[in-house]
């Protein structure tokens, strides 16, 4: 290792005296251990919140509800107020100049703009 890397102690040492179980003991090298953690969704599912009274706050039921206000429509390209919608690309746009732009955009960019609001076409 380069001296400046060593001096900055950039790399976490593999042995630390204050640990009762070292990393290499817990996760030995060379053994395929697969995925040893659960996704958040799996964690929530394992919590079985449906077995608890609904008035008791938990991770799931403290989530905010959907908004009561109508969603403000903004132009996907410029961010201006968007009164129009292009049925071909599904993009919202503010005026004719933006319309010209979106009609000249390659599909990849259209999809990336749509992906910003999770409205892109997903091929399954």
Partner 1 sequence: MPFISKINRQSDYNLFRSATPLVIDNGASYFRIGWAGEDDPRVIFRNIVQRPRHKTTGETVTIVGDHDPALLKYFDCTRSGPRSAFDSNVVYQFEIMEYILDFGFDRMGANGSEIDHPVLITECVCNPVQSRSKMGELLFETYGVPSIAFGVDAAFSYKYNQLQGICDRDGLAMCPGFTTTHVIPFIDGEPMYKGCCRTNVGGYHVTNYLKQLLSLKYPYHMGRFTWEKVEDLKMEHCYIAQDYISEAKLFQRGTKEAEEKTRLWQLPWVPPPTEEPPSEEEIARKAAIKEKLGQRLREMAEAKRSSKINELENELHGLEFLLNQLEQVAESDIPSFLAETGYVSRQEIESARNRTTQSLRKAKGEPKSEQTETEKADSSNNEKYSLVNVADEMLTPEQLIEKKKQLSIKSMSEGRMRLKQKRQEAELERERKQQLEEEKRLENPELYLEQLHAKYKDLSEKVDQRKRLKTNGGHTNGNNLSGGVGRGERLNAAQRERMRLLTTAAFDRGKGEDTFGAKDEDWQLYKLMSRDNDDDDEGPDEDDAELARISSRLQDLDPTFVPKLETSTSQTAEVPRARPLTKEDFQIVFGVERFRCPEILFNPNWVAVDQVGLDEMAGVSMRRLSYKDESLESRLTSSILLTGGSSLFPGIIERLEAGIRMIRPCGSPIKIVRALDPVMDAWRGASAYASGPQFHTQTFSKMDYYEKGEDWLRSYQLKYSL
Question: Which residues contact partner 1 by CB under 8 A?
Answer: 1-2, 4-5, 8-13, 16-21, 23, 26-27, 36-40, 43-44, 46-47, 55-59, 62-69, 71-72, 74, 78-81, 94-95, 109, 112-113, 115-119
CB of 90 to partner 1, least distance (A): 14
Shortest Å distance, C-beta 7 to partner 1? 9
Q: Is residue 43 a contact partner of residue 59, using CB atoms and an 8 Å limit?
A: no
Q: Which is nearer to partner 1, 65 or 87 (CB)?
A: 65
Q: Alpha-carbon dihedral of residues 41, 43, 44, 46, nearest 10 degrees?
A: 120
DSSP state of 54: T
| Torsion angle of C-alpha atoms 18, 22, 26, 32, degrees rounded to 10 | 150
3-state secondary structure of 17: coil
Nearest approach in angstroms of CB 123 to partner 1 is: 18
């Amino acid at each position: 290792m380069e001296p400046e890397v060593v001096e900055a102690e950039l790399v976490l040492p593999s042995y630390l005296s204050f640990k009762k179980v070292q990393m290499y003991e817990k996760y030995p090298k060379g053994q395929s251990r697969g995925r040893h953690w659960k996704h958040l969704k799996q964690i929530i599912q394992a919590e079985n919140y449906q077995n608890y009274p609904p008035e008791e706050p938990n991770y799931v039921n403290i989530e905010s509800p959907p908004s009561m206000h109508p969603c403000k429509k903004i132009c996907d390209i410029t961010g201006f107020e968007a009164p129009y919608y292009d049925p071909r690309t599904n993009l919202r746009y503010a005026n004719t100049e933006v319309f010209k732009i979106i009609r000249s955009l390659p599909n990849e960019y259209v999809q990336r703009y749509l992906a910003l609001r999770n409205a892109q076409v997903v091929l399954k």
